Amino acid sequence: MPRKGDTLEQKSPAEFFAENKNIAGFDNPGKSLYTTVRELVENSLDAAESLGRLPSIEVTIEEVTQKQLNKIRQVVNHERLDEELYQDHETEDAKKKRIVKENKDRERLKKQLEKKGESADAIEGKLKDIETKNAAASSKTLKTFYTVTVKDNGMGMPHKDIPDLLGRVLSGTKYGVKQTRGKFGLGAKMALIWSKMSTGLPIRIRSARVSQSFISSYTLDIDIQRNEPNVHEAKMIDNPDRWHGSELSVTILGNWQYYRSKIIKYLRQIAVITPYSHFSFTFKAEDASNDIHVVFARRTEKMPEPPKATKHHPKSVDLELVKQLIQKTKYNKLQQFLCKEFDAINSEHAGRLIEEMRSGAEPETDPRDLTNKQILMLHQLLHAAKFSDPSGNHLSPAGEYNLRLGISKELHPDLVATYQGDAHVLEGHAFVVEAAVSIGGRDIKPGINIFRFANRIPLLFEGGSDVITKTALKRISWPSYKINPTSDKVGVFVSIVSTKIPYKGAGKEYIADDMQEMVQAVKQSIQQCCLQLKVKIVKQQAARDQHQRRKNLVKYIPNAARAVFTVLESMAESRAVGPKRKRMQDDDDILAPVKQMQTSEDTLIARLTEHVAKIDSDMALEYQVQQGMAEGIRQDVYLVPLSAQHEFGRELHASTCVIKLLTAL
């Protein structure tokens, strides 16, 4: 019971997420910056893809210092009156201690450098470097803010819907299921909540729909408690160029320093999985020398089919969902309801199911008239009965072509193999696993590098317990595919698409490793890639061996010749002690020439070199023949007969060609 004075308050969805930021990936300022970029980029991708346009996305992060922010917010930047009031104030004691420590460090470093015998100038230079670094580190304690702007060429938003689309966290289930990029359906709204919480600055939006004569321009924020948009300004600007798309700009507290690599990694990986998109990324630092500009260019114009919405599979529905479907359905007969609202149930099947319910429900009963008990029965039956699996046709995997292209363009590997598995099913949801394995390339470390994608977005956090990581590291026997898992640069790319990705953990950052179907599908896809690679690797190795054979053999000729000649020399000077040598010497005396210095070590070297050359050319020919056969390069060659009157003889087969003789008549 609430105590007197307490009031029971209803919590808005916006409030819930504001209080539990970490679930949506806003754990700390750094992660928030990363998640903001990611949510906006994924929104943009969806906006362009749903229009069937090739996405072009511009991401800009601009550093904003506290001072600048205050200027924007029109807060006066005061000089500090009472230094001791501030957290970063250094007391006298602390200052003394710091100076002593710094001097000590300096001395130690100096000694070390002197030991190495570096010149005095170099030492001074290094000391300076360290000091500037220290100074930089201490100034880092100041909070920094960032304006994140993402611009796309998507479908844009209708003018009047913009406040609701961005300023209201919507709950409620979607009608039907569909493979979607977002994890929570929050998208930019969470960034909006975060900006409101950290800087209080509103979000700025410019958006135009296709061939719309104006651009909507909004400045708005969200009333977290009431879960309502709060529009500061709404304008319509002329759109002479007929630009379409959206541009969102939000200013938030962040940490670029720690999350720079993650953000760039994210963009690179999303470029891998969507090679048909163009991304440009700009970071504008306070100090212009720290600016970054990266472009991930478009490599193909072929986009995968967009995912289609599908009906709920009976195995996947929960009780609440059944009730909602009943409420929303436009069919007023139970039999129709079952076969129209669910996947994998036809009319005859629906009739049998209703008969099985046996609780007074008839095929003609209006689903809305079902009693609570009957609904419970129906729900139970849906889970107990046998249904065919969802087909997976509604899913939109990246496709082997795109995956291969994306990897090639971003990593430039020496070898890459891709595989797309069939649709599998997990708790009534279809899923498709695609994999690629690459060898070599730039910006990739030796060892197994894992790239995880779920519904065509990269997963960067909490990889340790992920099904993909675990499978790649533990369940694949790399050496059996001629791949060295520690010294080769191996890239493992696995993309899983599903109407429901079985995430684990609050942040939805990894996929559980405890489902047999998933483990099997992932393992099989990687293995298939490895099998393809093995063939190529073996071929490459053969080619390399072919190339190096002569070199390797020639290298050892002097060793062999010297050892043999040493014994020959020694034999030439002593008499045979046993029957074996005597017999051989009688047959063919090679020791006499050694004694008379007609045969020397050089003779042996020359003979061995000749032999190696002969073997090498034989093997090379054999290799060529084998390669030729394997590759199946066949070419018809014709010689013009001298006269029109001729007849062909029989075919003569050789290992490299087939010859037909012809005779003039």
Partner 1 sequence: MSSKKRRDAPAEKALAARKRIKSSTEVLAQVNKLAAILKGSTAVARTLDGLHLPQTFREVVEKDADAVLDEVEGAIYQAALSILNGEGFTYDIPSRGRANQQYIPELDRIVLKDSKAPRTFASVKTCRSAVITTRILQLIHELCQKRIHVTKRDLFYTDVKLFEEQNNSDNILDDVACMLGCTRSSLHVVASEKGVVVGDLRFREDGDEIDCQRMGVGGKAIPPNVDKVDGIRSNAMFILLVEKDAAFMRLAEDRFYRTYPCIIMTAKGQPDVASRLFLRRLKEVLKIPVLALVDSDPYGLRILSVYMKGSMNMSYDSSNLTTPDIKWLGVRPSDLDRFNIPEQCRLPMTDEDIKTGKKLMEEDFIMANPEWVKELEIMTKTKVKAEIQALSSFGFQYLSEVYLPLKLQEGDWI
Applying CB under 8 A, which residues contact partner 1?
Answer: 545, 548-549, 552-553, 556, 559-561, 563-564, 566-568, 570-571, 574, 576-581, 584-585, 588, 590, 599, 603-604, 607-608, 610-612, 614-615
Cβ-contact 485, 421 below 8 angstroms: no
β-pair type (203-208, 214-223):
antiparallel
Give 508's Cβ-side CA count (13 Å radius).
Answer: 19
Q: For the CB of residue 578, give the shortest distance to partner 1 in the complex, in Å.
A: 2
Name the one residue in this structure whose structure tokens are 């730039």: 442
* Tokens describing residue 511: 């996929």
Beta-bridge partners for 220: 203, 231
Distance CA 528, CA 546 (A): 27
Residue 234 vs 571, nearer CB to partner 1: 571
Q: Which two tokens stand for residue 634?
A: 């066949």
Structure tokens at 463: 């990889």
Cβ distance to partner 1 smaller for residue 560 or 625? 560
| CB of 112 or CB of 552, closer to partner 1 | 552
C-beta closer to partner 1: residue 613 or 657: 613
Count of H-run helices and E-run strands, the chain: 18, 18
125 is in an annotated binding site: no
Q: How far is the CB of 415 from partner 1 (least distance, A)?
A: 23
Q: Residue 569 Cβ, how far from partner 1 at the closest point, in Å? A: 10
CB of 626 to partner 1, least distance (A): 16
Q: Which is nearer to partner 1, 210 or 567 (CB)?
A: 567
What are the tokens at 27?
């754990």
183 is in an annotated binding site: yes
The torsion region of residue 636 among left (phi > 0), alpha (psi -120 to 50) and beta comes to beta
Q: Is 186 annotated as a binding residue?
A: yes
Q: Are strands 447-454 and 489-498 parallel, antiparallel or unpaired?
A: parallel
152 marked among binding-site residues: yes
232, 219 Cβ separation under 8 angstroms: yes
Contacts of 35 (CB under 8 A, 6+ apart): 24, 25, 26, 190, 191
Q: Any binding-site annotation on 235?
A: no
Dist CA 60 CA 37 (whole Å): 9
- Residue among 48 and 561 whose Cβ is closer to partner 1: 561
Residues 7 and 630: their CA atoms lie apart, in Å, by 81
Least distance to partner 1, CB of residue 533, Å: 23
Instruction: Tell me which DSSP letter residue 447 carries.
Output: E
Of all helices (H) and strands (E), which one includes residue 291? none
> 362: which DSSP letter?
-
Beta carbon nearer to partner 1, 393 or 598: 598
- Output the smallest distance, CB 556 to partner 1, in A: 4
Whether 562 and 602 have beta carbons less than 8 Å apart is answered as: no
The response to whether 77 counts as a known ligand-binding position is no
In the complex, least distance from residue 615 CB atom to partner 1, rounded to whole angstroms: 4
* Pick 5 or 579: Cβ nearer partner 1: 579
**Stretch (H or E) spanning 46:** helix 29-49
Distance CA 361, CA 374 (A): 7
Q: How far is the CB of 483 from partner 1 (least distance, A)?
A: 21
Shortest reach from residue 584's CB to partner 1, in Å: 5
Q: How far is the CB of 475 from partner 1 (least distance, A)?
A: 21
Beta strands in 125-277 (DSSP E): 144-151, 203-208, 214-223, 228-238, 245-254
Q: Which is nearer to partner 1, 92 or 588 (CB)?
A: 588
Judge whether 302 is annotated as a binding position.
no
Q: How far is the CB of 661 from partner 1 (least distance, A)?
A: 37
Question: Is 262 annotated among the ligand-binding residues?
Answer: no
Using an 8 Å Cβ cutoff, are 215 and 490 in contact?
Answer: no
Terminal-residue alpha carbon distance, the chain: 116
- Establish whether 185 is an annotated binding residue: yes
Nearer to partner 1, 446 or 558 (CB): 558
Integer Cα distance of 145 and 66 in angstroms:
7
Ligand-binding site membership of 173 (annotated): yes
Q: Select from 164, 163, 181, 149 the least CA-distant residue to 246.
A: 149
Select 385 or 557, whichever has its Cβ closest to partner 1: 557
Task: Tell me if 187 is assigned to a ligand binding site.
Answer: yes
Give residues with Cβ within 8 angstroms of 570, minimum separation 6: none
> Could you give phi then psi for residue 441, rounded to 5 degrees?
120, 175
Q: Which segments are annotated as binding site for ATP?
A: 43, 152, 173-174, 182-189, 508
Q: Which segments are annotated as binding site?
A: 43, 152, 173-174, 182-189, 508
